[in-house]
Amino acid sequence: MTLITRKEVPNEETWNLADIFSSDREWEKSYFATERELDELLNEKISLSSPLKILHYLRTYDSLMERLHQISSYAMFKYSEDESDSVNQNRMGRSQLLVAKGNKVSTKLVNELTQIPNEVMTRYMDDEKDLHDYDRFLQRIEEARQHSLSPDMEETLTALGQSLESPESIYLTITSSDLKFDPVKDRNGKEVPVSLHMYMTQIETSPDTILRRNAFKSLTKGLSRYQHGLAKTLTNEISKNVSLAKLRGFPSALDMHLQFSPASNNFYTTDGITAEFFEQILDTFQEKLSPHMQRYARLRKSQLGLDKLLFSDVKAPLDPNFDPPISYKEAGEIITEAVGVLGSEYQNQMQKAFTDRWVYRGDNMGRRMIAFGGGVHGVHGYSFYPWGGNLFDMLLLSHELGHTIHYTLSAQNQRFINNSQSMLFVESPSTLVEHLVVHYLREHRDDPRLKRWLNMYLMMSYHHNCVTHVLEAELLRRLYKMFENNEPLTTAIISDTKGEILSGFWGDTVESEEGAKLTWMRQPHYYMGLYPFTYSVGISAATVIAQRIKAEGVSIGRQWTNVLKKGGSMKGLDLFKMAGLDMTTTDIFDQTVAYVGAIVDDLEKSF
């Protein structure tokens, strides 16, 4: 199979970015107009001496940040289509420079707002009711106040923003543009190309043992060429965050990641949970889920007739010959029908995702490796998912579309600067859609083999969210503690620590090839704070909500849709509470682990 170029991708497989800007020329016009306004604000002395002046600046800032978001999103989406294209690279670079300028404006405004005592701001808000339009943003100002630095220091850190974010940008550049893998042969001797995305979405779950193991060797060989450089990159990311934590007065980098969200950050916010609770979540899944996953690993080894189960086999399908293809059109129909239990408003938005081309599904050279779902404030959501054409693709696409519709609904109902999504909550809307598609197929298809496959898919989803990502978070926990204890983080230490974590979880059920230690090189999550653990939180909430919808019907689904509309205007724990979930203890996680155990029971009986 030969990958096509971006120009060869059929139009129907691309997204409609004209909804953001009708042309590149319109993007240019908006770019220069926004840059002028940013420069004016940077050169202007901000006066916040009255409620009306504060309201004026908040309205101006909100509008400006929304337009900046549209500009940067358009550039990022174009870049995602083909990261090797020089025009896309240039546009993306300019966009980053403009965002950096926007960050300076954000810091300048936030610095001025933090100089206003809380009691004065409270009085201002009593006097000017329209200030309550920005309640969540102002609440975040107050939350950040304790760990904010002097205005000069905050401005310095903002000016260094691009440098501080360089570990992530270096990682993304290497994995998307430099990292190459040798093609491999499948069991029929046919040559198959290998990429990170293709491996994680197609090959890793292939029924072809020869292909899986050959591809894993190719992946290991390709990754190993960059292991020392990327180990240094990851170490720099950890070092940076440890230094920032000390600077801001946190007892550890873990505490900073869990409890601090700069008010100028318009993307994600933390929920203020303790490092102790974070560690309880990790311990719960590693201690209680491990026995069920080891049982499942033994079933896989037996069912596939393998003399030994390698790490490259842990996601192999138990029914190797069951892989029915599905068209993109049919997948869209199924997903849209499945989310009907969330109410007509949600379902209508999902329908638009397919009819109005909100999805980029072309599988071309130079495209981004990792799928995503998100959106553009003032426009609508978008998803990026190279389409392979099987049931597995449909479920993964449904996950990304869960993000897309969540963002669409929240953006329609919240102001931009209020709408920073909760990291603790953000993976629950996406994993819920996966569960709803599974439930829909169980109810509308009579094929017992399909129903067994759906159980296997759920196990794969729990594997991904509650094993892969939890073990990523476990590696971060250990590496941060090592660094803070003045232990060097060499390539060998990072890889060996990853190997120890995998061995501890899988026990003697899985024989890890040497390349298993390098799996820390596959994901950008290590450059996103403690983001990986939120997947286990999200899928646990989705598990319980899906069961409640199944038992109680669309009323629970509509309630969930109303929660999604709240977007970033509430903290994650409060959003869960509004949905009827108490996520402040490990009870929901225990219920999820028990549900996984029941699926393994069913699968053991079915074989």
Residue-range domains of the chain with CATH: 6-164 (1.20.140.70)
> For 302-330, what is the mean pLDDT?
92
Residue 395 near residue 407, CB atoms below 8 Å:
no
pLDDT-derived band at 321, boundaries 50, 70, 90 = confident
Q: What does the pLDDT average to over 480-505?
A: 97
CA-CA distance, 422 to 575, in Å (whole number)? 9
pLDDT (tens digit per residue) in 502-531: 999 999 999 988 899 999 999 888 999 999
Work out the percent of the chain whose per-residue pLDDT is above 90.
86
Residue 411: the pLDDT is 97
Residue 145 confidence (pLDDT) above 70: yes
pLDDT at 276: 96
Q: Which residues face 511 on adjacent strands?
A: 310
pLDDT at 261: 82
- Per the listing, tokens 């003032």 go with 378
483, pLDDT greater than 80: yes
User: Long-range contacts: 242-246, Cβ < 8 Å, 24+?
Assistant: 242/480, 242/483, 242/484, 244/157
pLDDT(189) > 70: yes
Of 401, 351, 408, 402, the closest CA to residue 375 belongs to 408
* pLDDT tens sequence across 68-107: 999 999 999 999 999 999 999 999 999 999 999 999 999 9
Mean pLDDT, the chain, integer: 94
Average pLDDT over residues 132-146: 92
List the single range of 69-78, 172-181, 428-437, 461-470 with lowest mean pLDDT.
Answer: 172-181
Residue 268 phi/psi, 5-degree rounding, is: -130, 150
Segment 542-564 shows an average pLDDT of 97
Look up residue 454 and give its two tokens.
């759906």
pLDDT score of 263: 64
First and final CA of the chain: distance in angstroms?
34
- Say what the pLDDT of residue 511 is: 92
Mean pLDDT, rounded, for 599-603: 96
Over the stretch 14-41, which tens digit does the pLDDT of each residue have?
A: 999 999 999 999 999 999 999 999 999 9
How far apart, in whole angstroms, are the C-alpha atoms of residue 329 and residue 585? 41
Q: Which percentage of the chain shows pLDDT scores above 70?
A: 99
456 has pLDDT over 70: yes
594's tokens: 């028990």
259-303 residue pLDDT tens:
998 766 767 888 889 999 999 999 999 999 999 999 999 999 999
Report the pLDDT value the prediction gives residue 607, as an integer from 0 to 100: 87
